Amino acid sequence: MIPSTTERVPVNTAERVNDEIRRQTEENVTRAAVAGLPTTNQRLRELDKEWDIERALEANAAAAVLVGVGLTALADRRFLVLPAIVGGFLLMHAVQGWCPPVPIMRRLGVRTADEIDRERDALKALRGDFEQLPPGHRSPGAARQLVEAVRR
């Protein structure tokens, strides 16, 4: 069975690595809570620049493909095996949420977009962004206001 998009990487990551990523996220939020609003705002800016695992894999795969094609053009056509392997890895990751570089990146602390968003939402809640929700915010008509509250 193919795991859901948001869970495919954590499901294929060692539990101790997932625990370490969660612990680091909690420490980040705790540090911001203790330090106050300027630190919270700074951390939110940092999160906007953080690369998730998808982006990191795509950038590394693109670099490997370019190197493989370049070596093929300059040295030997057998180097075409490199882009072929990278393409296979990307397909594996798209379907399963796992490929050989994923465990390495996860151990280095590269998070999924969902994990980054959880920290972002916790910091925004800490900052008070969600306290301004309109009365009756659970009604279908309040969808735009809810999306705006989360977007800040």
Note the pLDDT of residue 130.
80
pLDDT, average across residues 14-18: 97
Count Cβ neighbours within 10 Å for each residue of 87-110 and write b for 16 or more, e otherwise.
eebbeebeeebbbebbeebbeeeb
Single-letter code of the amino acid located at 90 = L
Note the pLDDT of residue 135.
66
DSSP string, 62-129: HHHHHHHHHHHHHT-GGGGHHHHHHHHHHHHHHHHS--THHHHHHHTTPPPHHHHHHHHHHHHHHHTG
Other Cβ atoms less than 10 A from the Cβ of 17: the count is: 15
Residue (of 4, 13, 7) closest to 102 by Cα position: 13
Other Cβ atoms less than 10 A from the Cβ of 68: the count is: 19
Note the pLDDT of residue 133.
66
Structure-model confidence comparison of residues 45 and 147, the more confident one = 45
Query: Where residue 145 falls among pLDDT bands split at 50, 70, 90?
Result: low
What is the rounded distance in angstroms from the CA atom of residue 29 to the CA atom of residue 15?
A: 21
Instruction: Give the chain's mean pLDDT.
Output: 90
DSSP string, 21-32: HHHHHHHHHHHH
Decide if pLDDT at 142 tops 90: no
Longest dimension (CA), the chain: 67
Q: Give the number of C-alpha atoms closer than 13 A to the C-alpha of residue 90, restricted to the C-beta side.
A: 18
